[in-house]
């Protein structure tokens, strides 16, 4: 098998890929119930103030703060309760000198009141309360617009919608929101050795159960896309060419696993105008990209690394997502060695501030992926990390 004459440094390859991807402009309207994880297609301006008026932040009594300044437990101040309201009601009474209105959390502040004293801070006898502690002007009051001001930009285009984002949209009166349409991602799996149904005789004779499609479907759905599987294609040059050309016509991005190196039956890379082919990453060195097509390894662990190092960023660019991976610094429990000139993707398990490298090696070892929950990168100019060293890990 012919080897790569030159390996493109990872960062150079990444920049070639990301600069080639252009954001898609397809937009759709989604009800809030279905918008979790979707990417906003426009800035969201608040149509109202939140809260829309001054309101009580506690259960208690709306008062003039000045009437309570001399209140002490040993010398309480007496106020008259002139009204009582429950949730959702509004008092029509004006709070004047020596008066108070009983209200609940969220009630609109009555006219004349500028503070709320918590009900635990008073003693009540009939329509009289005895204030045991003073309150300051504005105390226990949520002021109009203190959460969100009308016309304020509360969410920006590109935001990946989280539960709290949906909450603020609901609080502002939105029932639906415009989001970027999910790019359609074609998956082509190649290889004569692959089977899709469990058959022990075939496995014993050298066949392999295909698993890349299940993993890629999940990863694509997790990172902004909608997968479309074109099936397992045998190592037939004409059939592979036909599948690639069809997927390029029908999809926004195409992932091909197998046929990325220079073996006798490695055909996939022949039918794509690649910007790069062969990089310094490990695992997954034979990865190539061009024409919105990734030619990837056939081994699951290598495919997984290639997806996290390249494909998820391509998908984020396609939908205009403001995506940054979740990272954390932690102490390395065991040393990790590498070689200069290699951009290594190391599977690790993070727990309680410590990182344990997964010992299982090999690009075909799926259980190593299952046992990990994050990865760390050893760049080309490093020979690894010592035990006890602080490293930065990226969560899956």
Q: Which of 300, 115, 125 is nearest to 219 (CA)?
A: 300
Distance CA 113, CA 134 (A): 14
pLDDT, one tens digit per residue, over 148-202 is: 999 999 999 999 999 999 999 999 999 999 999 999 999 999 988 888 878 887 7
- Give the three-class secondary structure for 351: strand
pLDDT of residue 361: 82
What's the chain's average pLDDT?
Answer: 95
pLDDT of residue 193: 82
Residue 339: CB atoms within 10 A of its CB come to 12
Q: Are strands 208-209 and 176-180 parallel, antiparallel or unpaired?
A: unpaired
For position 389, which CATH number holds?
2.40.340.10
For position 268, which CATH number holds?
3.40.980.10
pLDDT, one tens digit per residue, over 322-342 is: 999 999 999 999 999 999 999
Name the percent of the chain in helix, strand, coil, to the closest 5. Answer: 20, 30, 45
3 is a domain residue: no
Q: Are residues 280 and 363 located together in one domain of the fold?
A: no
pLDDT, one tens digit per residue, over 297-328 is: 999 999 999 999 999 999 999 999 999 999 99
What are the DSSP calls for 220-231, one per residue? HHHTT-EEEEEE
Q: Are residues 314 and 196 located together in one domain of the fold?
A: yes
Q: Are residues 251 and 227 located together in one domain of the fold?
A: yes
- Give the three-class secondary structure for 284: coil
244 is a domain residue: yes
165 is a domain residue: yes
pLDDT, one tens digit per residue, over 94-130 is: 999 999 999 999 999 999 999 999 999 999 999 999 9
- Helix 312-319 with 10-20: angle, nearest 10 deg: 30
Last residue of a domain, one of 318, 347, 370: 318
pLDDT band at 1 (very low <50, low <70, confident <90, very high): very low
Q: Are residues 18 and 138 located together in one domain of the fold?
A: no
Q: Are residues 80 and 132 located together in one domain of the fold?
A: yes
57-66, 106-115, 205-214: the lowest-pLDDT one: 205-214
pLDDT of residue 152: 97
Q: Are residues 332 and 372 located together in one domain of the fold?
A: yes
- Assess contact for 393 and 345: CB atoms under 8 A: no
Backbone phi, psi, residue 122, to 5°? -135, 160
Q: Say whether pLDDT at 268 is over 90.
A: no
305 is a domain residue: yes
Q: Are residues 190 and 252 located together in one domain of the fold?
A: yes
Q: Are residues 166 and 40 located together in one domain of the fold?
A: yes
Give the structural domain span for 233: 10-25+182-318
Tally the domains of the chain: 4
Give the containing element (helix H, strand E) for 17. Answer: helix 10-20
Q: Are residues 287 and 357 located together in one domain of the fold?
A: no
């Amino acid at each position: 098998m012919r080897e790569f004459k030159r390996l493109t440094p990872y960062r150079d390859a990444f920049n070639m890929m990301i600069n080639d991807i252009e954001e898609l402009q397809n937009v759709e309207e989604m009800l809030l119930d279905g918008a979790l994880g979707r990417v906003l297609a426009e800035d969201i301006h608040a149509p109202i103030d939140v809260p829309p008026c001054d309101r009580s932040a506690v259960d208690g009594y709306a008062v003039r703060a000045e009437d309570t300044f001399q209140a002490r437990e040993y010398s309480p101040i007496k106020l008259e309760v002139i009204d009582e309201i429950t949730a959702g009601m509004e008092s029509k009474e004006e709070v004047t000198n020596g008066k108070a209105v009983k209200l609940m959390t969220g009630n609109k502040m009555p006219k004349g009141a500028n503070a709320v004293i918590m009900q635990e801070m008073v003693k009540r006898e009939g329509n009289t309360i005895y204030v045991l502690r003073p309150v300051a002007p504005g105390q226990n009051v949520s002021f109009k617009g203190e959460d969100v001001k009308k016309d304020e930009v509360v969410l920006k285009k590109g935001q990946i919608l989280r539960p709290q984002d949906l909450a603020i949209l609901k609080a502002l009166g939105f029932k639906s929101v415009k989001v970027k349409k999910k790019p359609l991602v074609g998956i082509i799996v190649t290889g004569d050795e692959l089977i899709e149904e469990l058959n022990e005789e075939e496995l014993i004779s050298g066949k392999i159960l295909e698993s890349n499609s299940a993993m890629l479907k999940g990863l694509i759905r997790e990172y902004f896309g909608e997968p479309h599987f074109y099936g397992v294609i045998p190592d037939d040059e004409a059939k592979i060419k036909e599948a690639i050309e069809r997927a390029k016509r029908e999809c926004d991005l195409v992932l091909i696993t197998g046929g990325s190196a220079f073996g006798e039956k490695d055909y996939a890379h022949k039918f794509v105008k690649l910007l790069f082919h062969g990089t310094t990453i490990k695992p997954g060195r034979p990865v190539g990209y061009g024409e919105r097509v990734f030619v990837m390894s056939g081994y699951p662990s290598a495919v997984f690394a290639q997806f996290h190092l390249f494909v998820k960023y391509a998908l984020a660019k396609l939908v205009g997502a403001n995506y940054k991976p979740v990272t954390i610094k932690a102490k390395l429990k065991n040393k990790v060695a590498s070689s200069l000139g290699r951009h290594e993707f190391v599977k690790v398990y993070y727990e309680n501030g410590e990182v344990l490298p997964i010992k299982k090696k090999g690009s075909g070892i799926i259980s190593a992926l299952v046992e990990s929950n994050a990865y760390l990168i050893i760049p080309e100019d490093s020979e690894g990390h010592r035990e006890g060293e602080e490293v930065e890990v990226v969560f899956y």
